[in-house]
Structure 1
Amino acid sequence: MKHVKALLIKFVVTLVLLYIILGVMYEMTFGEVFLLSVILGVISYLIGDMLILPKTNNTVATIADFGIAWIIIYWFADGMTRIDNLFAASLIGAIAVGVCEIFFHRYLSNNILPDDEQHDQNSATRNLKYQTEISEELETNEYEDKEKK
């Protein structure tokens, strides 16, 4: 249920942002923006938020989500609409989505993703106890032997 709530938050934010940018500024229809938001939300949630974010940090996941958003918006707008400056439209949309992803990743880290410290303590590799041994050198130095005599 937590993932459904997070996916719904991501969808609503993406829909509002992309409708303002692509719908109002570049005259895409609401249906096209709605479909784009569903596709972008699901793909970026699975790849950027569930695969990349837990293994890396917020910065890397945000850059990945920006790249995913730019590619999907560019591909979708190219196939569905007749936007004159397609590169600028997709870039502006991807930047807006990327900025919101910074805050969404913080939400995911605090509320959805498992706590790393608790996971690390339960891991078998974290429970190993290592001990080092301290001893004197086994070989003697000839210089030290001469001084002792």
Structure 2
Amino acid sequence: MRLLWMKILINGLITVHFLVIFAGASFSGAVVSSVILSLIAYVIGDRLILKITNNVVATALDLGLASLFFILVSGVTIGELSMVELLTLVAGLGVLEYYFHRTFGANLVSSAA
């Protein structure tokens, strides 16, 4: 559970600020989007994929999930994102995800959900 909260906090550092400044999202919309993305990425990327593959595959999956998520919710809970903004946001998340997996990967694989 501690790792989930850390992931929400780490992802929030990038996504909330980015969505409020560049996408014109409300603060609450950006927080909700960040938390939902973090929950999805934690369950699928960290709990399932990282256990059976490696850091690079789990990070790539997290990038794909983030891209798909922001494309689907763009204009609903957050403002419109251009392709450059989307790629910049996802690249920033990718760097954080890579180091998150690298730092906490052993705990993610061995601990129970």
| TM-score (ref. length: structure 1) | 0.68
- Judge conservation of contact 1:70–1:90 (CA < 8 Å) in 2: yes
Give the CA RMSD over aligned residues: 1.8
Tell me the residue number matched to 2:59: 62
Distance 2:55 2:49 in 1: 9
- In 1, distance between residues paired with 2:108 and 2:79? 39
Report which structure shows greater RCO (CA 8 Å, sep ≥6).
2
Match runs of 1:1-149 below 5 Å: 4-83=1-80, 85-114=81-110
The CA distance in 2 between the partners of 1:21 and 1:82, in whole Å, is: 11
Distance 2:82 2:77 in 1: 11
How many residue pairs are counted as aligned between the two chains? 111
Superposition misfits of 4+ residues, deviation over 4 angstroms: none
Unpaired runs of 5+ residues, structure 1, are 116-149
CA spacing shift, 1:106–1:81, aligned 2, 3 Å: closer
TM-score normalised per structure 2? 0.87
**SS of match in other structure, 1:70:** helix
Shift of the alpha carbon at 1:75? Answer: 1.1
CA distance in 2, matches of 1:29, 1:15: 14
Q: Which has the larger radius of gyration?
A: 1
C-alpha separation in 2, matches of 1:56 and 1:110? 12
- Shifted more, 5-14 versus 102-111: the winner is 102-111
* Contact 2:30-2:77 within 8 A present in 1 as well: no
In 1, are the aligned partners of 2:46 and 2:108 still within 8 Å (CA)?
A: no
Deviation of 1:86 (Å): 3.1
